[in-house]
Amino acid sequence: MASSFPKKERLKSKKMIEQVFQDGKTLKQYPMKLFYLRAELTEGSRCQAVMAVPKKRIRQAVKRNRIKRLMREAYRQNKEPIFNKMVGNYALLFLYLGKEGPEYREVEGAMKTLLLRFLNEIQDERKDQ
């Protein structure tokens, strides 16, 4: 699998995003929080993700967009080991919790930790079933 983030891997459905917020499980690693939900995805991808930065915390659109770009890049670079071990379809929502613009290293470290914890959680769920 190439390290890319094509359209079919992006979560775009407002209905699904709301469902992930309401019914999804969460993992937190400052400065990010991951909401995830096992779901039937329409695009044929095993996992769809979306990045969100609240306007209430980061007022300037330029800064919000930069943070989302950093989050997408960190996800794109670190998703491959997770995808290879993952079973099932999941919708992921990454929410930025910080109050100012982060460095890429900080975002990437949090993303790696969240993805590994996510993989451990879904593997534990499979063992329990």
Query: What are the structural domains, with CATH classification, of the chain?
Result: 11-128 (3.30.230.10)
CA distance 52 to 38: 19
* Segment 58-80, tens digit of pLDDT: 999 999 999 999 999 999 999 99
Contact 96, 21 (CB under 8 A): no
Contact 91, 71 (CB under 8 A): no
CB count within 10 Å of CB 63 equals 14
What pTM did the predictor assign?
A: 0.93
The segments of the chain whose pLDDT lies below 50 read none
